[in-house]
Every structure is written in C-alpha cells, then in structure tokens.
Chain A
Amino acid sequence: MFGLDFSMVDWQEVYTATMDTLRMLFASSLFAVLIGLPIGVMLYMCARSTSVWIRACYTVLSFVVNILRSVPFIILIVALIPVTRAIVGQSYGVLGTIPPLVIGAAPFFARLVETALNEVDKGVIEAAHAMGSSTRQVVWRVLLPEARPGLVAAITITVVTLVSYTAMSGLVGGGGLGDLAIKYGYNRYETEVMIVAVVLMVVLVQLLQMAGDRVVRHFTRK
C-alpha cells in the first residue's frame, strides 16, 4: 500500500524507543509536577499577600517562570547541557534529556496550577479562615482538594506537552520515538519507521488525554 513496506521495520528497536519515551515521560512528568506544584501554590499565595515584600517576591518568581516558558525547548536543551551534566552526569540519552524536560515543563505546569487555584471559590477559602484554619490547612484542606479537577487537567496538558518535548529531544540524540523518527525517517529516508513512530505518539497522546479527562470527570462535583 502506497509503496510502503513495513516488513523492514525493526520492531525490537521500535519497542525499545517506545519504552524510552515512556520512561522519559514518566520521570519528567513526575519531577515537573513535584517541582511545579509548590511553585504554583507559591505564585498563588504570594499574589494575594498583603505584604509588599512578598508581592515583590511574586513579581520576581513570576518573571523567572515567564523566562523559562518563553525559551524554545530546543534551545533550552542545548543551553542546559552543563547543568544537565552536573545533575545526572551525562547530557545525552534518556537520562540526559530528563533535566531539560523537567526544567522546561515545571514552570509551564506551575502557571497552570496557579490558574487552577484561581478558579477556587473565594467564599470557601474565606469560610475556612473564619473557622480558624491556618494557612497550611487552607492550602491542604481547601485549595488543593477544591482545585483537584483543574489540577488533573493541568497535569494532563503538561504530560501531553512533554510527549512533544521528548520527541524534540530526539534531535540531540535523546532516544525514544522522536529520536527513532529522525534517525530513520529524516536521515535514512525510511518513511515506514517514521510513520510507526508518529502513530505511536498519536496513540499515546490520545490515551493520555482520555485518561486525564476521565479522572477530571471523576473528581468534578459541580
């Protein structure tokens, strides 16, 4: 069909690449969420503080987040090579792509967290204060549970974005499906392998989105 011959595809290699992508995706999503969530909460809290100093901190933090978000990911990978080496000891392969993926996605996720928290009804937060909650209790018992559907949606968007980031890291030999597509499809004109890699990524994104939507629906009580 269309003059394509899938029999020459090395399925063992496709499998390895898929697993590499999943590994990168899992590790980078995990760290992006672990780092981005507190930053997002901090952004939310600082923006509302009555103290001038804390609001100044917000401006600085917000500026840093904006910078990291506006640098194209492909440039971030290259620019971060020394940092990556310092953290994981190598700047190539699956391990070497994780730090730039995390640093690229965490600020993005933090912004989404801030937006999700902004959606929480102010009245409920006020009620919690009126009942004598401490700030910590407000965050853990009101803000985060009330924002849960929004937070899950934010995680979904971040993970899906990370799928395309992992593909880009293929350009610098990061491994995974993106690497496979470039290595065979672009460098060796083996279109079949590229198609397989792209289809797998599309399926991956679809599955992630469906799973995310389902969890959001489960948590929505409105």
Chain B
Amino acid sequence: MIELKQLTKQYGKPGRLTTALSGLDLSIQKGEIFGVIGHSGAGKSTLIRCMNLLERPTSGEVWVNGINLTALGKKQLQNERRKIGMIFQHFNLLSSATVFDNIAFPLRLCNTPKSKVEQKVGELLALVGLEEHRHKYPAQLSGGQKQRVGIARALASDPEVLLCDEATSALDPQTTDSILKLLLDINRRFNLTIVLITHEMHVIQSICDRVAVIHQGGIVEEGPVTEVFLKPRHEVTRDFIRNDQLSDGDPFTTLSGQPNERTVKITFLGAKTYESTLSDVVRETGVTFAILQGTISKIKETPYGQLIVRFEGSPESVNQTVVQLQKQGLDVEVSS
C-alpha cells in the first residue's frame, strides 16, 4: 500500500546539512495499522510527512497505492493527496469554521454537491460521536473532540490511507485510549490502512499490527508488534519497552544464580497465557519456583505474558522442566 524506496531527506544548505532520513526502505500493507516509534528528533515526523509529500524527499521514491508520488506533477499530486487522510498532533482545524464546515472542507475542495456534503458530514459526525457539536467552533471543544473532528475531516474524502502524526500526544491517557479505539474501529470497518507515529510504546501496543523503530534517520528494527515487543533486539527498542513498564533493573540479567538454581524468562503468547502450563510442568518435574518479575497483558487483542522465574531443584529436573515447557510451545530463555 505504501512503499518507501531508499528515502533520504536532508535539511539545510549544502555544507550545513542535517540528514533527517537516510536511505530508508519501508513497506506497509493494505489494511494494517503500522506504527513507527522513535525518540525525539529520530525523523518520525519527517518520515510521515514524506508519505504525502508535505516534505519532498531529497532522493528516493514514495509509492502509495501503486502510484509513484515523487514523479507526479502538482495537479496530479493534489488529486492523490485527496486519497490520503492525515491527522495532526495539534489538530490543525480551521478556527474560523464550525465543526461541520471543517469536516466539509475536503468535500468542498472538489465541489461536491451540497446535498452530498450534508449527508456525508452527517454520517461522519455520527461515526465520531459529535452530532450535537456540529455548529460549534474548534475553540469550544476539548482536545479529544478536536481530534475527532480531525479524524472525521480526514475520512471525508474516503481515503485509502490515514497518516497520524503524534495524533494522541497532546491528549490525556483516557482521551488517548478513546481516540485509539476509534482508529481501530475505523481500521476494521473500512479496511483503512493506518500509519501511526508515536513516541509511546503504549500506543503501539494498543492498536498496531506491525511496528518499525526509527533511530537517527533509519529503521533499526521492524516486525509484528508481538515479536518486536517480546523479543526486542535493538537497544533503542529495549529502551522504549523498559520505559513503558517502568521497571528498573532486569533480574534476568542482573541476578546470578546458585549452583542448583536457574533463572529463566518464559514468554506466553495467545491463549497459552491463561493456561496452567507452568504449574502442570513443575508438578511433574518436582522443581520449585519463585517469580522474580512478571507481566501479563495484551498486545492489541493478543494476550501475552512474560515471567522471569527462578527454578530450584536438581540440575536434571530443572533441565527437564525447561524442555517440557518448550514442548508445550512456550518460549523459554535460560540465563547464562
């Protein structure tokens, strides 16, 4: 659906260039919610703004829905942009227009007949739950309501892609969750491809299917959220996950065990999370265990659990336990 090829973006004049993106490749599938996470200044905004050419890349190609945007003329680009919705951190609504007129804006751009505008905006107001606010001005709305207007406006032209640049960063946690829920709902209902930029792992974990971690203008890690989240490979990714869980120090790597002890990290995914596998196995092998750290939660709709456990028992029975757990389909990592 979106294909970035060797995308490079530099700012500034020759001699004093800042490279915001360097030779980045990315492929986003139709209908998925794709998250991009990175620290401040990593190039997230630049990346998403290149997807509709608000920022023209220095080199490389941007393909959206089979069309090479970088090769289009001004007029054609305007037409293609109408099929790419975008929402912003600061909403960017017209302060001089009512909620209704804001949502109608993209429709009126292409001279949609009045009755059609009326009907479409009505539907969108219902979708985002703002029917009774249609005659208000943005200044009279809360942040969450403004973002709902932003979403409705972005959907007005029936886009195939929705780009979200830090769409929830200016909102409080509850409002963030309600906006994320709305995005997920829209994604399902219209099979709309959503690209979402954020610096909060929580946002990625709530609704994304796949994630890319961006650092210093390049993608350092990419994959299904469950994979990246449970088995982060890059330092930056680990950083985000650690910050998100607010845990300090990882007993898995900091504790050294006694000879008859073994510290292991067990990862549960999907339905296994809620099964009694661990207790079944230890009852059989006779080892005892202590939980040093644990999380059980959900990634999007997939339940997962991650436990750091210390087994005590004879070396053979501990080994046996690990093997049994792995046989049951759990991911077990043994501390060295």
Contact = CB atoms under 8 A, between A and B. Distances in A.
Interface of A: 121, 123-124, 126-134, 137, 141-142, 145-146, 148, 219, 221-222
Nearest to B84: A130
Interface stretch (B89-97, B234-242, B276-284): B89-97
Interface residues of B, number: 28
Q: Is the interface of A mostly helix, strand, loop or mixed?
A: helix
B106 A132 contact: yes
Given A221-B96, A221-B139, A127 B88 contact: yes
Contacts of A127: 86, 88, 92-93
B94 A146 contact: yes
Contacts of B81: 129-132
Given A127-B86, A146-B94, 14 more contacts: A123-B88, A123-B90, A123-B92, A129-B54, A130-B84, A131-B86, A132-B78, A132-B106, A133-B78, A133-B109, A137-B109, A141-B109, A146-B96, A221-B95
B137 interface: yes
B97 A130 contact: no
Given A131-B157, A141-B105, A219 B79 contact: no
Contact of B82 (A131, A141, A142): A131
A128 to B, nearest CB: 8
A130 B88 CA distance: 11
Closest 3 CB pairs of A and B: A132-B81, A127-B92, A123-B92
Contact of A132 (B96, B109, B139): B109
A132 B86 CA distance: 11
B138 interface: yes
Contacts of B94: 124, 142, 145-146
Contacts of B80: 132
Interface in B76-134: 78-82, 84, 86, 88, 90, 92-97, 105-106, 108-110
B145 interface: no
